[in-house]
Amino acid sequence: MTEIPPKPVLLTGASGALGRALTAALSAQGWTLRLTDLAPFPDRLPANASFTRADLVDGVALLRLAEGCGTILHFGATSIDRPFGEVLGPNIQGVYHIYEAARREGARVVFASSNHAIGFHERAETLDADCDHRPDSFYGLSKAYGELMARLYWDKHGVETVSLRIGFCFPEPIDARMLATWLSYADLVRLVARCTLADRVGYAVIWANSANSRSWWRDDDRSVIGWAPQDTADVFAGQLAGKLSGNPVIERYQGGAYCAVDYSRTGPSPAQLFRHKG
């Protein structure tokens, strides 16, 4: 029998592609969902779900939506690279409001972070989850901020979080980079379910990608929740292995195209930071 959380689950960003996939899969398993987004929900609403339009900058609205919830799946955000002013409200203020709601309710947070929080690491590197943040954009910077907010609220208030550094989550990968970063919808659903249903998670960070042999990412906290991906991008390698951008910045760094936007260096960013002793 499928496990069902004992309390309602709040899902932000419900009208986005990942929110819709999670809504369909988790509601079919019998979960009680409270859905919210700034945009209307485009699909037929499941019988065991409710939807409320709300802005992430509205802290009072989020407090109300979180009442009685045991888990907050925080997938709401400006989800692409945008100027800082457009990222500030939903991605910076919004994550603070989510954690205040979680603190008040004693709820767990599953935070949709991103590989763009570490995007300026080079593809020649293999990363553990405790690697340095090297955001590749204001979007990636906001995700690094969210991970730090999660750490603060765990250390100071005991709010549990699993931060999911999502790679590329679409039905199929579309270029060679995504042979390393792809996460299938089915693996995402299984991952979010385990994040919600695990007994204790503390503060955890997980590389959210499928079992891709070309992955740049290794050790993380997935054993805490008992999750392992079941799908792989390897089956697409034959058709995508040579599908490259031709841009040396994009091809050098793990963040791909986000690294190249407004890139003004004349050469590569150093692989290691310069640390001067005083």
pLDDT beyond 80 at 74: yes
Instruction: Tokens for 227, please give them.
Output: 């999750």
- Report pLDDT digits (tens) over 167-182: 999 999 999 999 999 9
Instruction: Tokens for 142, please give them.
Output: 């906001």
What's the CA gap between 218 and 238, in Å, rounded? 24
Where is pLDDT greater, at 252 or 2? Answer: 252
Backbone φ and ψ of 240, nearest 5°: -120, -15
Check residue 200 and give its pLDDT. 96
When pLDDT is cut at 50, 70 and 90, the band that residue 1 belongs to is: very low
* % of the chain at pLDDT higher than 90: 93
CB-CB contact of 224 with 201 (8 Å): yes
pLDDT beyond 50 at 14: yes
pLDDT beyond 70 at 278: no
Residue numbers annotated as active site:
139
Check residue 53 and give its pLDDT. 98
What's the CA gap between 260 and 264, in Å, rounded? 9
- Report pLDDT digits (tens) over 27-69: 999 999 999 999 999 999 999 999 999 999 999 999 999 999 9
- Contacts (Cβ under 8 Å, ≥6 apart) of 14: 20, 22, 23, 33, 35, 36, 37, 41, 51, 75, 76
The model's pTM is 0.95
Check residue 102 and give its pLDDT. 98
- Report pLDDT digits (tens) over 127-139: 999 999 999 999 9
